[in-house]
Structure 1
Amino acid sequence: MQTHPNNEKRVNGQLHQPSSPSHAKNPQTLAAQHAKNARAAQTEAARIAANVAKQLAQP
């Protein structure tokens, strides 16, 4: 989530920074998750394409 600099949430004068998930502290974990999601999406796309090709091949 991006926040405009003039729209920062402040609590007691301090910039409010909610506790972040562990991947925010570890960019490699986030990158690994993105790669995993991309592979899963690619696999799903290939499966759908194969099903469509199969249906188109039927007379």
Structure 2
Amino acid sequence: MLSQCPPAQYPPLDKLIGTDGAVTPQSAPVLDPKEAAANARVWGLLLSAGKKRKPRKGKS
């Protein structure tokens, strides 16, 4: 929509994104290494099971 009007009529960026100019960085959540390893193992099993599965006959 902004491409249809001249740049002089653009609304201020602060109004568009809803901030008053102050940017507050959000910290990443702290992950448990054991939980992350277990999740990776499960994803690996899921992906390898999908590769081994034979396609059904009769369905395209």
Give the TM-score range, shorter chain: 0.3 to 0.5
Of Structure 1 and Structure 2, the greater strand share is in 1
Higher alpha-carbon Rg: 2
What TM-score does the superposition give when structure 1 sets the normalisation length? Answer: 0.43
What TM-score does the superposition give when structure 2 sets the normalisation length? Answer: 0.42
Of Structure 1 and Structure 2, the greater helix share is in 1
